[in-house]
Structure 1
Amino acid sequence: TQITYLSLNNTLRMHSRAARGGATAASGAGAAANPASIKERLLGWCQQATQGYKYVNVTNFSSSWADGMAFCALVHHYLPNSINYDALNPKDRRRNFEIAFKAAEDNGCAPLLDVNDMIEMGDKPDWKCVFTYIQSLYKHFVMMPQAIAARAAATQAGNH
């Protein structure tokens, strides 16, 4: 929905600025919430979170996710105890998807992708399906903790 879309855009903008040490990008704080900028920022978040992971090079929301390794890396980045990343094999796509999706779901993420669907899509998963799931992971791992922290700070400030 539009509210979620704008909230995601604002959070991605803040996350991008924080990653650059607080500098404002050319798109700036007044950047319009358009699909291209949200897609680019979400891709940047994925790249940052999966940087340095073996077998992972996120360049898009389709083929970069086809073997399940990027999903595992992204989930492992936020939930390092839920996945033994070093034991994964990029050729075992089904197992990688199962591990990543189960770890995410066990930690409260919505199960928006199906292992069998990802296997059937082969080397070029539908980018819209992947994007929607990644958006959900972003909301779960980044936006929700920020909202919880803000509520806790407001509650604490109100108690003083």
Structure 2
Amino acid sequence: MSVETMTKTSSEVQQQGDRIIKTTTTEVITKSAMQPQQKMSPFAKFRQLDRQNSLPNPKTPTTPTTPGGSKVVGRPLFVFTDPNMANRALTAKDSLLLWCQTKTFGYENVNIENFSTSWSDGLAFCALIHHYLPDAFDFSKLTPKDRRHNFTLAFRVADEKAGIAPLLDVDDMVMYKKPDWKCVFCYVQSIYRRFRNED
């Protein structure tokens, strides 16, 4: 075989090798893009979104205002990038809120409109627990002023009589007039899961 033929053959082999590498790389990229992503639990997804949305964005002012200078009200706290997840989250939150409103309807000093300030005096927790365990305590003796007693009573009765773990801390709840809605939402979910089939 001549040197010229060997050079041609070597060049052809290299070109073929390049094509194989390119093809293989394309296949790997295509396959990895086509593989379904691992399923993430809703709580893990929520934590991921919470981390993403808590990072400062240099394009967004820290205190959003309208052109007149007043603060913008009603802007969502979190922005879901997946529209299906946004719909499911909105539906779940609204459904749970409606469930709470239904079960506490008629209880004095209880008006549940959200998962934060509506729960700040402990009466909403007491009303929700009392609805399912009316013999556990006398709701009519509770007052909005005795916040610590209300939280302690609701969390203790839920734990002892219904097996609902006390996910919230009484001291934390007493310290804040505006509790973290995510914490309240998680605890109310556990109450819902325990009692959802009872009426």
For the criterion TM > 0.5, the same-fold answer is yes
List per-residue Cα deviations over 1:32-73 (Å, max 9, x = no partner): 861110000000000000000000000000000000000000
- The equivalent residue for 2:173 is 118
The list of structure 1 runs, each at least 4 consecutive aligned residues, that deviate by more than 6 angstroms after superposition, is none
Q: Distance in 2 between matches of 1:140 and 1:96?
A: 20
User: Is 1:66–2:156 an aligned residue pair?
Assistant: no
- The equivalent residue for 1:22 is none
More helix by share: 1
Which residue identity is paired with 2:158?
A: A
Q: Distance in 2 between matches of 1:100 and 1:115?
A: 10
- Structure 1 unmatched ranges of 5 or more: 3-30, 147-160
Give me the TM-score of the superposition, normalised by structure 1.
Answer: 0.69
Between 1 and 2, higher relative CO (CA 8 Å, sep ≥ 6) is seen in 1
Q: Is the 8 A contact 1:66 1:124 kept in 2?
A: yes
Query: Which runs of structure 2 are paired with 1:6-155 in the superposition (5 Å)?
Result: 34-107=88-161, 108-121=163-176, 123-143=177-197
- Structure 2 unmatched ranges of 5 or more: 1-40, 43-83
Question: Considering only aligned residues, what root-mean-square deviation do their CA atoms show, in Å?
Answer: 2.0
How many pairs are equivalent? 117
Q: Distance in 1 between matches of 2:186 and 2:137?
A: 22
Q: Is the 8 A contact 1:56 1:69 kept in 2?
A: yes
Larger Rg: 2
**Aligned to 2:196, what secondary structure does the other structure show?**
helix
Q: Is the 8 A contact 1:53 1:73 kept in 2?
A: yes
1:140 CA displacement: 0.7
| Residue identity (%) | 53
